[in-house]
Structure 1
Amino acid sequence: MGATGLAVPDAEAQVLRRPLPDKLVVLTFDDAVVSHATYVAPLLRKYGFGATFFVCEFREPAFVDKTKYMSWAQIRQLHRRGFEIGNHTLTHKHVNRMSREQLTAELDSVETRCQAYHIPRPVTFAYPGYDTAPTATTLLPARGYQLARAGGSRAYDPTTDHPLLIPSFSTSGTNKQQVLDALQQAREGRIVVLTVHGVPDLAHDWVTTPPALFEEYLRYLHEQHYKVIALRDIARYVNVAEAQRTIQPRYENLK
């Protein structure tokens, strides 16, 4: 039976390991912003929420500026606290601007740093700038990636959306109502994935989420009894290999 109480069609049953509960939300955080370690992670622990942190090393402003970005030691601490570390390319270069060889090098650089800091090899990926490309959807599974997140401002339907092209909603300081409305879509077999940047984001202030607003979202999720997980945890509900095999990639409406 599906989340609505109706029988799950055979095709859906092959993709879904079990029916999706309503109010299932994935939290993802991009760009290795220092506030992820100093502010976000303690709050997530307070509420008992899971999350994925997609890390990279920006060139501008430079990653060496630790007033703006986490150190790899701080990223390792996120892993030790139980959070997922995902791959966001090394230099935040958009995948539609890279060859297969260039993308391989970008992925490998993050994987190598994870290995050096005793962080598990990433199995999830986030598209810089939300730009997708067939280069990525063919290379990622060959390197063991199960799930990848883009944009698109819509809910994720595991029975129709390819697991390497998962849509998400972005948060900022100006779209509170859009985020709250988006959370209402986590029902009837759909999962809401949120993309958050810095809280605040001192490196790229146009994508900042104010700390007070962020905590308001967490209180809302807690008080309304949402289940908040990391991106990797989707595999508890979705047969990722079957979904990769049977669902046709669609690259439109993911920005």
Structure 2
Amino acid sequence: MKRLALLLVTLFALGSGNAQIIRQPIPDKLVVLTFDDASISHARFVAPVLKRYGFGGTFFICEFPPNFFDKSKYMSWAQIRELDRMGFEIGNHTLTHKHVNKLTREQFTAELDSLEFRCLTYGITHPTTFAYPGYDTHPTAFSVLKEKNYAFARVGGSRTYDPTTDHPFLIPSFSTTGTDKQRVLAALQEAKNGKIVVLTIHGVPDNAHDWVTTPPDLFLEYMKFLHDNRYTVIALRDLAAYVNVEQAFTTIALKP
């Protein structure tokens, strides 16, 4: 029955002219975990939990001003390097969490370059994915990301990602912020019929910005739910196994 469902999704894509975007049928229960802002809890709490379950994840890094060097709030670059060595993805969130709609082309490029240089300096894999600070987008950012060979970029939106209609630079996500467990669990159950659920998670807890905290006990519940219900949990870069990025760039229009 499951194989039949996957076949039907593939046939639908063929009929809609978007089959070439899909490299292989997208399984139900496919979830992408993304973590923003280099919270210290990502190294101390989140990474060990993910490792225990065998989950992938993307950590979108920035040197969040003005307190990045307060290590009670943010990771050190040595800790970020350790995440990379553990097999997690390090993504670009600009160097200083600047909203891209407030930057010139040159300023945005410099923000990307600076974060990339930090990765080079600390021996961290070169970033190929991006998350928009504050979820703000701008056409200038799209062209710069394309020129710099980024594959995927994440926004907000509180909906599933459909690779046949959503541009790779506008991948929507659900936030886990707060204590509304049913909202998050309901979102996870939307990962079906060719749709992918991407989660945006800040600190667990977030010592720098408590208004975006995900409580640790709830985070553990979410991860156990994913494990017990046999979800496939990946990093953002791993979408390339399912999505032909170049074909999607050609086929899907960018709509800021």
| Offset, 1:3 | 4.6
Match of 1:114 in 2: 119
Structure number having the greater helix percentage: 2
| Offset, 1:180 | 0.7
Given residue 46 of structure 1, which amino acid in structure 2 is its aligned partner?
Answer: R
Q: Residues of 2 paired with 1:125 and 1:170: CA distance?
A: 16
Match of 1:41 in 2: 47
- Output the TM-score relative to the length of structure 1: 0.96
Matches within 5 A, 1:79-228: 79-228=84-233
| Offset, 1:2 | 8.1
Say if 2:6 and 2:25, in contact at 8 Å, map to a contact too. no
- Report the more deviating stretch, 176-185 or 146-155: 176-185
Match of 1:23 in 2: 29
Given residue 59 of structure 1, which amino acid in structure 2 is its aligned partner?
Answer: P
Say if 1:25 and 1:192, in contact at 8 Å, map to a contact too. yes
| Offset, 1:65 | 0.3
Q: Residues of 2 paired with 1:23 and 1:54: CA distance?
A: 23
Provide the identity percentage. Answer: 66
Give the direction of change, closer, same or farther, for the CA distance of 1:133–1:223 in structure 2 (3 Å limit).
same
- Report the more deviating stretch, 239-248 or 10-19: 10-19
Three-state SS of the structure 1 residue aligned to 2:18 is helix
Q: Residues of 1 paired with 2:201 and 2:5: CA distance?
A: 27
Q: Residues of 1 paired with 2:240 and 2:150: CA distance?
A: 12
Deviations 1:106-149 (A, max 9, x none): 00000000001111110000000000111111110100100000
Q: Residues of 2 paired with 1:66 and 1:235: CA distance?
A: 34
Say if 1:3 and 1:20, in contact at 8 Å, map to a contact too. no
Q: Residues of 1 paired with 2:50 and 2:186: CA distance?
A: 21
* Structure 2 residue runs without a partner (length 5+): none
Matches within 5 A, 1:2-81: 3-6=5-8, 7=11, 8-9=13-14, 11-60=17-66, 62-81=67-86
Task: Supply the RMSD in Å over aligned alpha carbons.
Answer: 1.2
Deviations 1:44-66 (A, max 9, x none): 00000000000000113x11100
Give the direction of change, closer, same or farther, for the CA distance of 1:162–1:117 in structure 2 (3 Å limit).
same
| Offset, 1:175 | 2.4
Q: Residues of 1 paired with 2:250 and 2:80: CA distance?
A: 33
Q: Residues of 2 paired with 1:2 and 1:12: CA distance?
A: 19
| Offset, 1:4 | 4.2
Given residue 245 of structure 1, which amino acid in structure 2 is its aligned partner?
Answer: T
Q: Residues of 2 paired with 1:19 and 1:201: CA distance?
A: 36
* Structure 1 residue runs without a partner (length 5+): none
Give the direction of change, closer, same or farther, for the CA distance of 1:2–1:107 in structure 2 (3 Å limit).
farther
Q: Residues of 2 paired with 1:12 and 1:4: CA distance?
A: 15
Q: Residues of 1 paired with 2:137 and 2:218: CA distance?
A: 29
